[in-house]
A and B are shown apart, each in its own frame.
Chain A
Amino acid sequence: GESVGLHLPTLSVQEGDNSIINCAYSNSASDYFIWYKQESGKGPQFIIDIRSNMDKRQGQRVTVLLNKTVKHLSLQIAATQPGDSAVYFCAEAYAGNNRKLIWGLGTSLAVNP
């Protein structure tokens, strides 16, 4: 989910477990969705994207699922590693907004060794 204010939702997992990070998006007209990873002190880094004509897309150790009915997006990370510890952001875009990305507030993932 998403939070309002200074406290990010936090997901804590054990190394080797699978992680699922959820995101509720705002606009039913959005047709493009993207996940970014931001490590402490760095800029966001692209992970994976998906278009609205798909409901699932897989990358290396990551899977994004899109449920347009309930406007929900999730990022699954397989065999989570300490290097996956970061803040994860989802973002959406749609043609009527000149395709500017609309960002979620982020979820902090902590991987315990």
Chain B
Amino acid sequence: NAGVTQTPKFQVLKTGQSMTLQCAQDMNHEYMSWYRQDPGMGLRLIHYSVGAGITDQGEVPNGYNVSRSTTEDFPLRLLSAAPSQTSVYFCASGYNEQFFGPGTRLTVL
């Protein structure tokens, strides 16, 4: 039982590049979320999903896309990376008690 896994752990992008952050969970949770965390701040919700095929925007969705084709996977796509997207990204699984992955540290130059 791996819980929530995220890949990659670290990534450096140039402005304008695109990439996908992967997230997978093996707890059969319907509810999954993506957050970003910036220094000295709490977590801000980017997008979330209440089940396969259903996604919705969170607090800071601009510049990010998500899809949910299976219960297990919830990838986050950066369409055209910007320096303002430099952050640590966490995927979470679960409704109230959320289980978090280890995070992806993204730097956009």
Contact = CB atoms under 8 A, between A and B. Distances in A.
B74 interface: no
Given A42-B102, A44-B90, A105 B41 contact: yes
Interface stretch (B11-19, B79-87, B91-99): B91-99
A101 B4 CA distance: 18
A27 to B, nearest CB: 14
A32 B95 CA distance: 12
A31 B4 CA distance: 27
Interface residues of B, number: 23
Contact of A5 (B40, B42, B95): B40
A112 interface: no
Interface string B15-41: 000000000000000000100000111
A8 B40 contact: yes
Contacts of B98: 44, 46, 101
A43 B90 contact: yes
Contacts, number: 50
A71 B16 CA distance: 43
A6 B39 contact: yes
A89 B43 contact: yes
Interface string A90-113: 000100001111011110000000
Given A98-B56, A100-B45, A101-B45, A46 B40 contact: no
A34 to B, nearest CB: 7
Given A34-B96, A43-B101, A101-B98, A6 B40 contact: yes
User: Which of B39, B40, B99 neighbours the largest number of chain A CB atoms within 10 Å of its CB?
Assistant: B40
Interface of B: 4, 33, 39-45, 48, 56, 58, 90, 92, 95-103
Given A6-B39, A100-B58, 11 more contacts: A43-B90, A43-B92, A43-B100, A44-B43, A44-B98, A45-B100, A49-B97, A99-B96, A100-B48, A103-B42, A105-B42
3 residue pairs, one from A and one from B, having the closest CB atoms: A43-B100, A103-B42, A6-B40
